[in-house]
Amino acid sequence: MTNEERVGREGNAFIAPPKDFDPLTADPKDLARYAIPQRPDPQSQPGLSALWERQARHYRTFEHLQAEINRTPRPESALPPKAFRLYPPLTCGYSLYSPADPFLSLFVTWTVPNLGYTSSPQGINHFRTFVGLGFLDVHVDMTVDATENVTSQLSVLGANGMDVLGLPVAPGDEISAGICLGKNPPGRATYVLANETTSQTVNFAFDSGFPGAFTIDAGISRDMGGNPSLNPLAHFDDVHFKEISAATKNGLTRSLLEGEAVTMVDFDGTTLAKAIQLNDTAFKIVSAT
C-alpha cells in the first residue's frame, strides 16, 4: 500500500515533506497532506498564530524523516496515562486539569537525561520522560542496566496502543513536541516531533476518536512492572522542560505551571524526585536521593 492509499483509506498521514517544502507558503491542502497543523487565524488567535509561524520557520531547515508507525499492543508494564492519580505517585512533574475548556494543543521542549543504574531485583531500570495532551502522549522510553548500558526510544501513546517512531534520540538530546487535537469528530490528532540536537523532525496525523483533552501534563516516570515496589528509580541528570504553551477550545493560552506539581515518592514515603518551577513556561525535575 502506498502512502497516498494509506492516507485515503485509514485517514492517517505518514508522508514526509520534500526537502524544499516551506510551510509558510504552503496551502491548507498541502499542510494537511504532510501532517502539519493548520495555521491559526492571526486575528482571532494572534498568540497561537505567532507561535505557529515561529515553529514553521524553525523546522523548515530540519531533515524531515519518514514516520515509522508500528502498532503493537500496549505492554502491561506501561504506565497508565493518569498515573498522576496513583498513590504513591510513580510520576513527577506538572499536570493541569481543565474540564470546562478542553485543550486543543500543547507545545513542549525537554531534555533526555543521562541515566545511572540503581540496584534492582528486576535487573534493569526503566525510565521515561513524557508530555501529554489528554490521552495523546509522547514518551522517551529508556532503560539502564548494571553495566550502565542505556537505551532510549521515542514513542507515542494514542488510540491504537504504543506506536514506535523513526526519530532517533539519545541521552543529552533536546526534544520538542507539538501535539494538536481537532475540536470536532473524529478528533484529528497531529504530531510534530523534533530532535533539536540533531536537527531532525518527523510529523504524522491520525483520527484519534477523542472528543477533547481535559488534561495536559509533562514529567518523568518509573516503570510499574508487575510489582511497582521492585522497580526503583534510576539515577538521572536534571530533566528540563521549557517553552511550554497550550491553547484551549475557547482560544485561551494556558500555562502548565498553573497546575499541580507532583512529587514522586517511594512506597516507604521517601521522596525520590521533585519538580521545581523556573519561570512561567519552564520547570525542571531533580533527583531527591
E-assigned strand segments in 29-114: 63-64, 70-72, 91-97, 103-111
Q: What are phi and psi of 141, to 5 degrees?
A: -90, 130
Burial label for 116, CB within 10 Å (0-12, 13-18, 19+), is middle
DSSP state of 256: G
For 47-65, write each residue's pLDDT tens digit: 778 878 888 888 888 898 8
For 19-41, write each residue's pLDDT tens digit: 778 888 888 888 888 878 888 88
For 264-278, write each residue's pLDDT tens digit: 988 888 999 999 999
CB 39 within 8 A of CB 22: no
CA dihedral 196, 93, 210, 176 (to 10 degrees): 0
CB 151 within 8 A of CB 159: no
What is the reported pTM?
A: 0.85
Torsional sign, CA 89, 91, 93, 97: negative
For 169-219, write each residue's pLDDT tens digit: 999 999 999 999 988 888 888 898 999 999 999 988 888 888 789 999 999
Q: Which of 204, 222, 246 is nearest to 90 (CA)?
A: 222
Of residues 30 and 246, more confidently modeled:
246
Read off the C-alpha cell for 133: 495532551
Is the pLDDT reported for residue 80 higher than 60?
no
Domains belonging to the chain, first-starting first, are: 64-287 (2.60.120.700)
